[in-house]
């Protein structure tokens, strides 16, 4: 059934590198795109290497002067057209992602809404992205923002539609051209996006080279004509990309891992507890737990611990584990057997070193024999445990009991990451104090995952460098050029004429 559905969706049998608005013939090795839940074959994708990256970078370099010369309003118009096209094709694209990565349609639909809004946001933001100026003695200083040129971008597999938008939208809005490498586990929707790009953008502005990190990714980050690097993924690979940028002295922006605290204070209104439980559940289980933003460490106060835990367990048990193509909220499968085994290993560690509250087993879903489905899993543990310190990237929540505020702040910050945090309280003074003291780039008060266009998204510590999702992102994709003007040359003074 999945194969027939793939054909109905109009997937190509094989995808090559997308360069100059065309898919290039595949001459070498390919890798297979398979449905995460069923294991059925969806398409073959070129395993790009240095030659493909070279062609893509040169195409982007050729396109750069004309693209840069457009007025911001003109570039914005292209982005609006792409957003329109994405919205028109959203039902098809979200199904492609659901098949490819195993997340439910209810989630991938949200992805495309966010993606389209990002193209529109940066279409608007670029029109008002000014430099600055001021008078100087006998003249005037103008500081203008200019694009870097060709940007090399690498995105992960968990939310490909959003990740492509977060990279492409600000870069091209600012006047850059891009070469983007999608993850080998989730390339289909980015390659399908190229079909829309080809109908809208000039050739060479947006290019895509699918493949593996050690091949296409390494060639892209090392390419001497790539003027800016951007990467989203693990901290370990982020270090490699950062070193590649340092070797060539080009700017690098990184959005990396997270192990985010989600804190419940004892003063929460009893009327709101059910809603808070639901939000805590969502924070940890959304994206099948495969999110760098996930609220994976729940700090729960002694005074409300037992009642809250009882409600939390009931909430987790209500989650429907199902075929990702089913309608409605559900927990789908993990991206791949490799990721499934990783999560399974962490659950085994939890069973030996922590207290299992609920879940902890692999689930069986009819018709989805290849899928790695897991029950929503909750452990009681300490902040020093591996479960609480390491990014699992699966539907696993660590619950930590607290009763001392200063110790809470210490433990919440006592991880190598600093991407996000959440807290629930009716005491706004305490909420603001806590938000200030948490070492996280995003702190959400009384609503986890409260991302809005224009809200900076970036991390502290090992969670990254730079911010996406906001106007500041345009500064990451441009550099300042200072131009000073005077009405006439100063009188001679250094070597005056006699």
| Active-site residue, selected from the candidate residues 48, 151, 287, 292 | 292
Our separate counts of H helices and E strands in the chain read 15, 25
The size of the chain, in residues, is 498
Q: How far is CA 193 from CA 153, 428, 458, in A?
A: 15, 43, 25
Rounded to 5 degrees, φ, ψ at 487 are -70, -30
The tally of CA atoms less than 13 A away on the side-chain side of residue 352 is 7
DSSP state of 288: G
Report which of 203, 185, 144 is spatially closest to residue 479, judged by C-alpha positions. Answer: 144
Question: 496, 442, 461: which is closest to 261 by C-alpha?
Answer: 442
Indicate the burial class of 341 (C-beta count within 10 angstroms; 0-12, 13-18, 19 or more).
exposed
Choose the catalytic residue: 107, 192, 215, 255.
255
Torsion of CA 285, 286, 292, 297, to 10 degrees: -30
Active site residue 433: no
Nearby residues of 65 by Cβ (< 8 Å), 6 or more positions away: none
73 is catalytic: no
For residues 86 and 111, give the distance between their C-alpha atoms in angstroms, rounded to a whole number.
Answer: 11
Q: How far apart are the first and last CA of the chain?
A: 93
CA gap 126, 173 in Å, rounded: 6
Active-site positions? 255, 292
């Amino acid at each position: 059934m999945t194969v027939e559905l793939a054909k109905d969706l109009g997937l190509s049998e094989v995808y090559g590198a997308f360069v100059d608005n065309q898919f290039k013939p595949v001459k070498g090795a390919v890798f297979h795109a398979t449905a995460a839940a069923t294991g059925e074959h969806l398409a073959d994708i070129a395993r790009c290497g240095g030659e493909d990256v070279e062609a893509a970078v040169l195409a982007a370099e050729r396109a750069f002067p004309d693209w840069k010369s457009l007025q911001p309003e003109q570039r914005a118009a292209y982005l609006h057209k792409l957003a329109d096209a994405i919205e028109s094709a959203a039902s098809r694209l979200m199904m492609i992602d659901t098949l490819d990565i195993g997340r439910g349609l209810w989630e991938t639909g949200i992805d495309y809404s966010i993606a389209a809004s990002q193209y529109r946001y940066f279409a608007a933001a670029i029109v008002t992205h000014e430099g600055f100026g001021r008078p100087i003695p006998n003249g005037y200083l103008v500081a203008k923002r200019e694009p870097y040129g060709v940007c090399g971008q690498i995105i992960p597999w968990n939310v490909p539609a959003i990740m492509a938008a977060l990279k492409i939208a600000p870069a091209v809005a600012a006047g850059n051209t891009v070469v983007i490498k999608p993850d080998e586990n989730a390339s289909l929707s980015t390659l399908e996006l190229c079909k829309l790009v080809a109908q809208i953008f000039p050739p060479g502005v947006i290019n895509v080279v699918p493949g593996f990190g050690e091949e296409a990714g390494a060639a892209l980050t090392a390419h001497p004509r790539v003027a800016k690097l951007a990467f989203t993924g693990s901290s370990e690979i982020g270090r490699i990309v950062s070193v590649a940028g340092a070797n060539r002295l080009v700017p690098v922006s990184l959005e990396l891992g997270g192990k985010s605290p989600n804190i419940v204070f004892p003063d929460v209104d009893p009327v709101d507890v059910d809603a808070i439980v639901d939000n805590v559940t969502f924070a940890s289980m959304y994206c099948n737990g495969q999110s760098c933003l996930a609220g994976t460490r729940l700090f729960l106060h002694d005074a409300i611990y037992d009642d809250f835990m009882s409600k939390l367990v009931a909430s987790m048990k209500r989650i429907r584990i199902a075929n990702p193509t089913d309608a409605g909220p559900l927990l789908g499968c993990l991206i791949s057997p490799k990721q499934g085994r990783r999560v399974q290993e962490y659950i085994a560690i939890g069973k030996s070193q922590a207290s299992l509250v609920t879940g902890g087993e692999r689930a069986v879903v009819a018709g989805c024999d290849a899928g790695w489905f897991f029950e929503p899993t909750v452990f009681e543990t300490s902040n020093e445990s591996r479960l609480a310190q390491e990014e699992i990237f699966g539907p696993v929540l660590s619950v930590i009991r607290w009763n001392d505020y200063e110790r809470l702040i210490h433990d919440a910050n006592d991880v190598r990451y600093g991407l996000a945090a959440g807290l629930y309280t009716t005491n706004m003074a305490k909420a603001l104090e806590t938000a200030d003291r948490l070492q996280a780039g995003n702190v959400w008060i009384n609503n986890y995952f409260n991302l809005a266009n224009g809200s900076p998204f970036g991390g502290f510590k090992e969670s990254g460098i730079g911010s996406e999702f906001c106007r500041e992102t345009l500064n990451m994709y441009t550099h300042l050029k200072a131009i000073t003007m005077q009405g006439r040359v100063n009188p001679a003074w250094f070597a005056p004429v006699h």
